[in-house]
Chain A
């Protein structure tokens, strides 16, 4: 085995192959920076080159591309609060908080070195376990996968803030929103309100952007300062981040382990791995007070997990030909095109190819993280720019990213609608991570429960694997209540002696209650198998939601559920009404419907810079050209579409 391992390394280090690997890495970095673009966009760009390449070069290019996308996705997660990929959502919580404190380069330094560590860890595990992984992967049947979904949901306890009730309701709200669309067990359509778009449910990209990025952009818009308001760290901030990683090496190791395992289980999906790692670090840390407000450990945990995940995900991909994640599906397609069949032969006759893949993965991670570290310092200066100059770019980026989800104008409207919900969740202290975890795990929990009950009946809960995961989940819940992430703790202190008007909170809680009632009405119109999941969730949550409404109605100021960031904030913090960002974004989308997205973006840029940033003619023109040029360039090279208008 050792011979083969080094032979593969030797082949990879011929100038040709190495150059192709580098090409893949560069492409992956550029594409990964743009939220919404991932391996899929990269593959379509690579395809013409793949044809005619020899196996090793082609594999190196593919892996180079796929491996570094989670690395460079970190840039927008940390610097702008925009989740760059589905597996770097959790990075936003503390990464962006650090950027706001002026420590962006430190957060990036820690994130990239954690990515590097996680990626290498995944590659090492893959090397040693790929030949014996097959039976281990097969242990995870539908019952175990259901229990793993429950384990994921148990993380909500650590992430729900002061009021557990609100956290649970937020999570249930996420589960119900996630169950919109066709029922896994029967194919019936739930809560689609006659909108075709909802047949397949809401896309994760859109929801993640609206719940995390949208409220942040809106808040910065209203404050109109630069993203970073703390003192700058000075030169070499990223070195500080590397030191942070070394200090927390055991944490990184544990999270890389979690990442590899979750990645290796087909059917879990990569979008929950960062939350599990984040939940883990919160539960195991003694001092939890800084989480959500800029704790470097909150960056290290998800970032070491999400790069390790790729190594794990390669196992089912290579062994069974079943992709362990979205980018792996693309990788698998690419392999087929160069004439390599994934399957049992990857550990017998084609083992040399497998080792080539592993080495490519390791080297790609080193190259990717190295280049990103190099750029971390200069790029983090973006956070010092006045926000009114940055805002149009960020709005353009999230709109573009959301549109990549299903290439439908409704993507943008959903971004706006859930963006408003996100704004209120943030303002009233409803846990957004809890909502997102519920959303991500809804389909998994439901379909695996349905399958396992039909396969094993209720004996499924007696299976050893299920029992083990159940015990782990219970321990998690126990630990989680000893301290929880609360980004609003400081503000909460301040609002103590103030009398809040609870009207707005009442309004929002009533909205959630209404949604739960709609879910119940809809659930009763479905067949038993089609409706049982949302109905169970909705009925369990109903009393909690009613109780919350009652709290606000009774004006119980002392209850931990009461929180309003708007009223707690100091006077003069916000320079614009809460609805002003919505008007700008809504206006942009309306104009897009009328004249198409690219022309609308031009008008938007010009108007925004002139009115909000009050830039000169020349500066406005240059910034607009930069924005639209960037967009068109990506569109041209990746053959991407933009929303078309009625008129043109």
Chain B
């Protein structure tokens, strides 16, 4: 490098970097820092209906594009943008990896309590947290819910097994069945525990990519028992039921205001799991095993999707969101398209959201131990 070259590099670098930092500091001036990260003090920022105007909300979805969580988020995002005052742009930021652990960790590292970055979790985000997976760096105790969304699921079997409904469940007790699963600590923990509770002879094969792959294995006749979440069940399994290939047995049920398990309003004719347990064992579900199932079900389905912000986020921001969600639910366009796009359930806000959030993100120590033990004995898995 000679002197002229050095001058050229030095001069141009100063010029460009100067311009860059000037521009980016101008941009930063516009975004409002709600909280000082070092002192934790909440700065005095006026949060009114103009707060979101011209802003970009990044909605982190720790799953890949085109999946259930992604579709749910993208469907809601359009309406959210419409009903949030100031019509901010809502971007879905898909950060898949580690069965949603990666994106949620990243969110935990990056989020600021300004309501401009929100996280949409799913049952498979809750599970590893509840089971103390060492990879998890997020803590639900640091968050509060903007709103929650439950979902349901239906377990169905092949009509080859010769039963017509759940009342005949005892007939298939000894038939060896295979269940196509994504992984032992995924949302499949709920079906895996329930098969065990019923004493069904089900072997689990892991490594399937998503429930869709499991359904395809069912259609190919490789597996005889499967479950799908409500919307996937309605779209793709109901035709199989109508053509006589599949027989629905039970739904997971939903949680009512008191946190009790009741029939899923989407499938009023199907018994929920608790009823099937009673048919099989002649008594209501109780004891540590059943309670552990209940805890995982609440985390996986009752509060399947949680939309979260840090708990330091000003309440005004949370209120703006909840108001927008409430209005969005009244939009005729939303109502008419919702069922096809994401299913029959309602987005839950305010007090009820808080109750579901608590149910979905907390587990008794004894139940946690029971689940870990279940994974250890059944799948030789140490966590």
Identify which of B64, B65, B77 gathers the most chain A CB atoms within 10 Å of its CB.
Answer: B65
The secondary-structure label for the interface of chain B is helix
Complex-state Cα separation, A393 to B212, whole angstroms? 41
Interface size class on chain B is 35 or more
Of B88-96, B154-162, B267-275, B290-298, the stretch lying at the interface with chain A is B88-96
Closest Cβ of chain B to A521, distance in Å, is 20
Is B71 touching A333 in the complex (CB atoms < 8 A)? yes
Interface string of B91-129 (1 = CB under 8 A from A): 111110110011000000000000000000000000000
Cα–Cα, bound, A187→B213 (Å): 17
Q: When the two chains form their complex, are residues B205 and A602 in contact, meaning their CB atoms are under 8 A apart?
A: no
CB of A184 within 8 Å of the partner chain:
yes
Please provide the chain A residues from 33 to 52 with a CB less than 8 Å away from any CB of chain B in the complex: 40, 43-44, 47-48, 51
Q: Check: B258 CB closer than 8 A to any chain A CB.
A: no
Which residues of chain A are near B239, meaning CB under 8 Å?
343-345
Of all chain A residues, the one with the shortest Cβ separation from B379 is A186
- Which residue of B9, B75, B183, B222 is within 8 Å of A142 (Cβ)? B222
A115 within 8 A of B: no
Given A323-B66, A333-B71; A620-B16 close (CB under 8 Å)? no
Q: Mark B128-148, 1 if CB is under 8 A from A, else 0.
A: 000000010000000000000
Which listed residue (A140, A142, A185, A344) contacts B206, Cβ 8 A?
A185
Contact between chains at A199 and B98 (CB < 8 Å) = yes
> Taking the complex as formed, is A648 at the interface, i.e. its CB lies under 8 A from any CB of chain B?
yes
Instruction: Name which of A185, A339, A527 has the most chain B CB atoms within 10 A of its CB.
Output: A339
Segment of A239-247, A353-361, A448-456 engaged in the interface with chain B? A448-456
Contact residue among A47, A345, A450 (Cβ-Cβ distance under 8 Å from B207)? A450
- The CA of A173 and the CA of B82, in the complex, are separated in Å by 52
Which one of A341, A602, A607 contacts B17 once the chains associate, using CB atoms below 8 Å?
A602
Q: Of B9, B66, B93, B95, which is within 8 A of A611 by CB?
A: B9
Q: A329 and B178: CB pair below 8 A? A: no
Interface: B341 (CB within 8 A): yes
Residues of B within 8 A of A142 (CB): 217, 222
Report how far A320 CA is from B210 CA in the complex, Å: 13
Q: Do residues B381 and A607 form an inter-chain contact, with CB atoms below 8 A?
A: no
Which chain B positions have C-beta within 8 A of A43? 65
CA distance A341 to B183 in the complex (A): 27
Task: Pick from B12, B70, B95, B381 the residue with the most CB of A within 10 Å.
Answer: B12
Give the one of B74, B219, B379, B380 with max A CB within 10 A: B74
Cβ distance B105 to chain A, nearest Cβ, rounded Å: 8
Cross-interface CB contact of B235 among A141, A321, A455, A621, cutoff 8 Å: A321
Question: Shortest distance in angstroms between B151's beta carbon and chain A's nearest beta carbon?
Answer: 15
- Which chain A residues lie closer than 8 Å to B1 at the CB level? 611
* Those of A603-618 within 8 Å (CB) of chain B: 603, 606-607, 610-611, 614, 617
B66/A322 in contact, CB under 8 A: no
Closest A residue, CB atoms, query B186? A187
Alpha-carbon distance between A85 and B11 when the two chains are bound, in angstroms: 38
Q: Is B38 an interface residue (CB 8 A)?
A: no
Q: Which of B13, B97, B205, B219 contacts A450 (CB 8 A)?
A: B205
A-B interface contact total, Cβ < 8 Å: 164
**Contact assessment for A455 and B97 in the assembled complex, using a CB-CB cutoff below 8 Å:** no
Chain A residue numbers with a CB within 8 Å of B93 are: 639
Q: Is A187's CB under 8 angstroms from B183's CB?
A: yes
Asked if A108 is at the interface of the complex by the 8 Å CB criterion, the answer is no
> What mask results when residues 210 to 246 of chain B are scored 1 for a CB within 8 Å of chain A, else 0?
0011011101101100000000100110010000000
* Cβ–Cβ < 8 Å partners of B8 in chain A: 606, 610, 617, 620
Contact partners of B219 in chain A: CB under 8 A: 138, 320
Measured in the bound complex, the distance between the Cα atoms of B184 and A610 in whole Å is 56
As a 0/1 sequence over residues 316 to 360 of chain B, the CB contacts with chain A under 8 angstroms (1 = contact) are 000000000000000000000100110000000000000000000
Q: Which residues of B contact A321 (CB under 8 A)?
A: 212, 232, 235-236
Q: Using Cβ atoms and an 8 Å threshold, which residues of chain A touch B208?
A: 451
Interface check A336, CB cutoff 8 A: yes
A599-B11 Cα distance, complex, nearest whole Å: 14
Specify the chain A residue showing the minimal Cβ separation from B137: A196
- Interchain CB contact under 8 A, B340 and A610: no
Asked whether A29 is an interface residue with its Cβ less than 8 Å from the other chain, the reply is no
- Closest CB-CB distance, A20 to chain B, in whole Å? 18
Residues of chain B within 8 A (CB-CB) of A9 are: none
Q: How far is the CB of A554 from chain B (nearest CB, A)?
A: 43
The A449-504 residues at the B interface (CB cut-off 8 A) are 450-451, 454-455
Known contacts A199-B135, A321-B212, A341-B235; is-contact A451 B65 (Cβ 8 Å): no
B residues less than 8 Å from A614 (CB atoms): 5
Inter-chain contacts of A343 with B (CB < 8 A): 235-236, 239
Contacts of A341 in B (CB 8 A): 235, 340
**Cβ of B203 and Cβ of A186 under 8 Å apart?**
no
Residue interface mask A631-648, B partner, CB < 8 A = 1: 000000001000000001
Contact B341 A606 (CB under 8 A): no
CB distance from B20 to the nearest CB of A (A): 6
Q: Which residues of B contact A599 (CB under 8 A)?
A: 16-17, 20-21
Look across to chain B and name the residue whose beta carbon is closest to the beta carbon of A331: B66
B235 touches A454 (CB 8 A): no
Residues 326-356 of A contacting B (Cβ, < 8 Å): 328-333, 336-337, 339-345
The CA of A617 and the CA of B9, in the complex, are separated in Å by: 9
Known contacts A142-B222, A606-B16; A187 and B184 CB within 8 A of each other: yes
Residues of B within 8 A of A88 (CB): none
Contact A606 B13 (CB under 8 A): yes
User: Given the complex, which residues of A lie within 8 Å of B183, measured CB to CB?
Assistant: 187
In the complex, are the beta carbons of B65 and A339 less than 8 A apart? no
Q: How far is the CA of A611 from the CA of B2 in the complex (A)?
A: 9
B279 at the interface (CB under 8 A from A): no
A166-198 interface (Cβ within 8 A of B): 184-187, 196
**With an 8 A cutoff between CB atoms, is B33 at the interface?**
no
Q: How far is the CA of A3 from the CA of B232 in the complex (A)?
A: 32
A624 within 8 A of B: yes
Q: Are B236 and A320 in contact (CB under 8 A)?
A: yes
A451–B205 touching, CB < 8 Å: yes
Contact of B185 with A by CB under 8 A: yes
- The reply on B313 being an interface residue by CB < 8 A is no
Given contacts A44-B92, A407-B95, A451-B207, contact A141 B341 (CB under 8 A): no
Contacts of A406 in B (CB 8 A): 95, 97, 102
Q: Is B373 close to A, CB under 8 A?
A: no
* A157 within 8 Å of B (CB atoms): no
- 14 A–B pairs (Cβ distance < 8 Å), ordered by A: A40-B94, A141-B217, A141-B222, A184-B207, A187-B184, A266-B213, A267-B216, A337-B78, A450-B205, A451-B222, A454-B178, A527-B380, A602-B20, A606-B12
Further pairs besides A406-B95, A451-B217: 19, Cβ < 8 Å: A40-B94, A51-B78, A196-B102, A200-B98, A267-B216, A321-B212, A321-B236, A333-B70, A339-B340, A344-B236, A344-B239, A455-B178, A455-B205, A595-B17, A598-B20, A602-B20, A617-B11, A620-B12, A624-B16
